[in-house]
Amino acid sequence: MLEVRELNSQYGGAKILHGVTMTLGANEVVALLGRNGAGKSTTMKSIMGMVRQKSGSVLYEGAEMLGRPSHVICRAGVGYVPEERRIFKELTVEENLSVGKREKRADAPEWTLDHLYTLFPNLKERRRNLGKHLSGGEQQMLTIARTLMGNPKVVLLDEPSEGIAPVIVEQMAHVIAELKREGLSVLISEQNLHFARLVSDRAYIIEKGQMRYEGTFAELDAQPEVSAKYLAV
């Protein structure tokens, strides 16, 4: 589905990623684990064409995406949910959703407003409210719903559990399970090992811009020294 090979990225003079390689299979949920500043967000932004200085390869369904503008990558079927809930604060919930709307895709599920409102009942109640008047959890739900309006096949979820209440984290886990049930592939970046284990099939660990570990959670649990070294704070 998505294959990243030897990805190097930098901002100005600062190199962030050093030869990152990873894959995301069809209908798979994969966690990208790592501490703050390890390079999780930069990996996602590089896949999405939002980092300018980069080299390597990002293959989506066999086609090279590296160097293409983000709207082309999005239209190809890759949805991106940013961290820090970058909703459009001065637009209403429904306007936010309409910005994300794209044509129906033959090979991916179509998300209608009704379908999204069943998945995110809060948003329906607040559909006429401005983005800035939503709670943190509602904003997080809105960013996901907005990306789903583009009917993606692959979703990149950047730190979905960051800074939201435990009850919303639970709802988030439910949403990710629903995405998998609908046949999507999901890459989530996480610092929260517990949450990642709950929702994903496999994990990568990134540290200082390099991949340090790849495997299932069972394998990761068998080597406590790995998570102690790369994840413990």
Partner 1 sequence: MGFYLAQLLTGLANASSLFLIACGLSIIFGVTRIVNFAHGSFYMLGAYLSYTLVTHLSALGALGFWGGVLVSALLVGVIGLLVEVLILRRIYRAPELFQLVATFGILLIIEDAALAIWGAQDLLGPRAPGLSKAVRILGEPIPQYDLALIVIGPVVLGLIWLIFHRTRWGVLVRAATQDREMVGALGVNQALLFSSAFFLGSVMAGLGGALQIPREAVNLNMDLSVIGDAFVVVVIGGMGSVTGAFIAAVLISVLNAFAVLVFPQISLVLPFIVMALVLVVRPYGLLGKPGSEKGAPADPEAPLRPLNPAGRLAMGAVVVILALVPLVSADFTMILLVDVLIAVLFAASLHFIMGTGGMISFGHAAYFGVGAYAAALVVKWLGLSMVPAMIVAPVASGLAALVFGWFCVRLSGVYLGMLTLAAAQIVWGVTFQWQDVTGGDDGIIGVWPAKWASSETAYFYLALVLCAGGVWLLRRAAHAPFGYMLRGIRDSEIRAEAIGVDTRFHQWMAFTFAGTLAGLAGVVSAFAKGSVFPDVLNISSSIDALIMVLLGGIHTLLGPLLGASVFVLIESWVTRLEYWRFIFGLIILGVVLIAPDGLAGALSRLLAFLKARIRPGTDTKKEALHGQRS
Instruction: Please identify which residue in the block is written with the tokens 């980069």.
Output: 54
Amino acid at 173: A
For residue 57, give every residue at least 6 positions away whose Cβ sits within 8 Å of its Cβ, in sequence order, or none.
3, 4, 5, 6, 7, 64, 66
The region that residue 67 occupies, defined by phi over 0 for left and psi between -120 and 50 for alpha, beta otherwise, is left
Rank residues 185 and 220 by Cβ distance to partner 1 and give the closer one. Answer: 185
Rank residues 126 and 146 by Cβ distance to partner 1 and give the closer one. Answer: 146
Q: CB–CB of 128/93 below 8 Å?
A: yes
Of positions 70, 122, 129, 192, contacts partner 1 by CB under 8 A: 70
Tell me how far apart the alpha carbons of residues 186 and 177 are, in angstroms, rounded to a whole number: 10
Strands 53-60 and 2-11: antiparallel
Rank residues 89 and 229 by Cβ distance to partner 1 and give the closer one. Answer: 89
Rank residues 23 and 92 by Cβ distance to partner 1 and give the closer one. Answer: 92
Q: Closest Cα to residue 182, out of 35, 17, 45, 26?
A: 26
For residue 183, give every residue at least 6 positions away whose Cβ sits within 8 Å of its Cβ, in sequence order, or none.
27, 108, 109
Distance of closest approach, residue 224 Cβ to partner 1, in angstroms: 34
Q: Which of residues 14-53 bind partner 1 (CB under 8 A)?
A: 14, 48, 50, 52-53
Residue span 128-157 as binding mask against partner 1, x where in contact by CB under 8 A, dash where not: ------------------xx--x-------
80 binds partner 1 (CB under 8 A): yes
Q: Which of residues 81-100 bind partner 1 (CB under 8 A)?
A: 82, 86, 88-91, 95-96, 98-100
Q: How many residues bind partner 1, per CB under 8 A?
A: 29
11 binds partner 1 (CB under 8 A): yes
Tell me how far apart the alpha carbons of residues 113 and 20 are, in angstroms, rounded to a whole number: 37
Strands (E), 65-147: 78-81
Rank residues 147 and 161 by Cβ distance to partner 1 and give the closer one. Answer: 147
Rank residues 84 and 125 by Cβ distance to partner 1 and give the closer one. Answer: 84
- Residues in contact with partner 1 by CB under 8 A are 11-14, 48, 50, 52-53, 69-71, 74-75, 80, 82, 86, 88-91, 95-96, 98-100, 102, 146-147, 150
